[in-house]
């Protein structure tokens, strides 16, 4: 089972989810296995773990290291646990849209779907922008102006066509992209070992540098977010009841280690010059520590990482629209799949066009917009999770968070409290 309408068969009350021919058609095609799925989640969450430099520039090495160490427990683990429970209970395309739909009704499913989709396509634009931030270090031609916008748009169109060729192609491409994008950071960590001074890890801001808490929390949130995006393609995953918990755990471990290792290596091996820590600075760190060859290797890795990020995020957006069409909250044309590749071609096209339209925004504005919309959606997602536990307590849950309703409420209050802190800081 595990197709995009399987969630209907798990409901033993009067509500049922509508089906479409497009939804049931996915039964006849190969499903996504666990290893490609792990790397898709990894890219959806971290974007390949590039883009963390701004945290050091905003709050210094100590806060950055502690942030990437503690934040997963405050936000990422609760979000991943909720995703594991609900995605295995309702393993259909659309994910969180199905959850809100079943918890509160069609309007709330449409609302959370709208917030998540808009934040998702803006995230796609940020991916293209971040990629160009690295490319311009080698090709200054793309630093500004029409050439920069042309590069961003061209990259988006080419990568969208790759996504159109099929989810299995995207999944196995993600494995290769993940391995090759991590290699330069593994080399950076190994080469930097003789130069590491642990006292640099406990450095706070430089003198006369004011802590930018808004940028700091935005960076943490953006780099350790979107665990639930994987649920939007649950109908395409092989044996989702078993695959989801294992894939989320593995991707979480990979993500956290990737961030911490590179931050410890880069901040420990170099004296702190906080104004230099902006997006793209890891390439400069590589050149200082090992030479130009590693800088070029890292920039290539950054481009590959951005490709993986884009493919994973576009997949989530497109299959979310397909799931919303299956639920009846969007026109049925969004559930139509390509005859050649079985991909939701209209969802891919619409997502790409919106991505191109917002690509002219600067990187900081993109991150702020993503986080704001996603925060609203997460509050509704937490409420849906608690509501479903209370509304359907006897429903079979292949994976169940081992807490009762009071404990679950506390678990959801912690990340909700972080959202409050985030808004105060911002």
Domains of the chain: 6-425 (1.20.1740.10)
Residues in the chain predicted with pLDDT less than 70, given as ranges, are 1-29, 48-49, 134, 361-367, 422-426
Residue pair 43/353 in contact (Cβ under 8 Å)? The answer is no
Quick one: pLDDT at residue 363?
62
Nearest residue to 121 via CA among 342, 315, 328, 334 = 315
CA dist 183 and 50 (Å) reads 13
What are the Cα distances from residue 143, in Å, to 47, 192, 360? 21, 29, 13
Alpha carbon 168 to its chain's center: 19
Quick one: pLDDT at residue 22?
39
- Within 8 A by CB and 6+ apart from 209, the residues are 60, 274, 275
Alpha carbon 296 to its chain's center: 25
pTM of the model: 0.89
Residue pair 277/54 in contact (Cβ under 8 Å)? The answer is yes
Residue pair 392/13 in contact (Cβ under 8 Å)? The answer is yes
DSSP secondary structure string for all residues of 291-339: -HHHHHHHHHHHHHHHHHHHHHHHHHHHHHHHHHHHHTSS-GGGG---T
Quick one: pLDDT at residue 2?
41
Nearest residue to 312 via CA among 180, 218, 217, 172 = 172
Nearest residue to 61 via CA among 345, 281, 298, 385 = 281
CA dist 375 and 73 (Å) reads 17
DSSP one-letter code for 76: I
Angle CA 232–300–55, to nearest 5: 65
- With 0-12 / 13-18 / 19 or more C-beta atoms within 10 angstroms meaning exposed / middle / buried, residue 390 is exposed
Residue pair 404/143 in contact (Cβ under 8 Å)? The answer is no
- As given in the structure block, the two tokens for residue 406 are 């009071």
Element (H, E) at 419: helix 405-425
- Within 8 A by CB and 6+ apart from 194, the residues are none
- As given in the structure block, the two tokens for residue 142 are 């793309």
Q: For residue 398, report the phi and psi dihedrals to the nearest 5 degrees.
A: -55, -35
DSSP one-letter code for 72: I
Can you name the residues that pair with 93 across neighbouring β-strands?
Answer: 233
Q: Which long-range contacts (CB under 8 A, 24 or more apart) does 144-150 make?
A: 149/359, 149/360
Helices (H), 72-212: 77-89, 96-104, 106-138, 145-164, 167-192
- As given in the structure block, the two tokens for residue 278 are 């902006």
What SS3 class is residue 270?
coil
What are the Cα distances from residue 112, in Å, to 95, 142, 214, 258, 392? 10, 36, 25, 30, 20
What are the Cα distances from residue 248, in Å, to 92, 124, 158, 273, 367? 17, 21, 29, 36, 23
Quick one: pLDDT at residue 411?
95
Location of structure tokens 């409290």: 417
């Amino acid at each position: 089972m595990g197709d995009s309408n399987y969630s209907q068969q798990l409901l033993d009350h009067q509500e049922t989810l509508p089906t479409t021919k497009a939804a049931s058609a996915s039964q006849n095609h190969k499903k996504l296995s666990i290893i490609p799925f792990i790397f898709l989640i990894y890219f959806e969450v971290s974007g390949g773990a590039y883009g963390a430099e701004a945290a050091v520039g905003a709050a210094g090495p100590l806060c950055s290291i502690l942030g990437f160490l503690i934040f997963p427990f405050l936000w990422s683990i609760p979000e991943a646990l909720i995703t594991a429970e609900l995605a295995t209970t309702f393993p259909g395309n659309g994910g969180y849209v199905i959850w809100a739909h079943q918890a509160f009704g069609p309007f709330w499913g449409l609302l959370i779907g709208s917030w998540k989709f808009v934040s998702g396509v803006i995230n796609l634009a940020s991916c293209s922008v971040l990629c160009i931030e690295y490319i311009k270090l080698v090709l200054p031609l793309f630093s500004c102006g029409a050439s920069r916008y042309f590069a961003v748009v061209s990259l988006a169109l080419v990568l969208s066509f790759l996504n159109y060729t099929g989810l299995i192609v995207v999944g196995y491409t993600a494995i290769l992209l993940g391995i090759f994008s991590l290699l330069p950071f593994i080399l950076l960590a190994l080469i930097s070992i003789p130069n590491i001074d642990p006292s640099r890890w406990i450095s706070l801001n430089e003198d006369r540098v004011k802590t930018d808490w808004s940028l700091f929390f935005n960076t943490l949130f953006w780099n350790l977010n979107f665990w639930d995006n994987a649920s939007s393609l649950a109908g395409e995953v092989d044996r989702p009841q078993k695959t989801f918990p294992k894939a989320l755990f593995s991707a979480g471990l990979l993500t956290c280690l990737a961030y911490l290792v590179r931050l410890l290596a880069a901040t420990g091996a170099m004296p702190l010059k906080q104004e230099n820590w902006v997006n793209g600075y890891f390439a400069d760190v590589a050149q200082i520590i090992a030479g130009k060859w590693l800088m070029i290797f890292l920039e290539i890795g950054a481009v590959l990482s951005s490709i993986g990020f884009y493919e994973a995020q576009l997949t989530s957006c497109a299959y979310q629209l397909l799931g919303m069409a299956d639920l009846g909250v969007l026109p049925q044309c969004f559930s139509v799949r390509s005859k050649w590749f079985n991909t939701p071609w209209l969802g891919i096209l619409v997502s790409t066009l919106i991505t191109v339209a917002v690509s002219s925004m600067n990187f900081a504005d993109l991150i702020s917009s993503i986080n704001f919309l996603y925060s609203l959606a997460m509050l509704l997602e937490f409420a849906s999770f608690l509501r479903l536990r209370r509304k359907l307590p006897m429903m079979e849950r292949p994976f169940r968070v081992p807490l009762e309703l009071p404990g679950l409420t506390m678990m959801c209050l912690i990340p909700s409290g972080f959202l409050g802190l985030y808004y105060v800081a911002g």
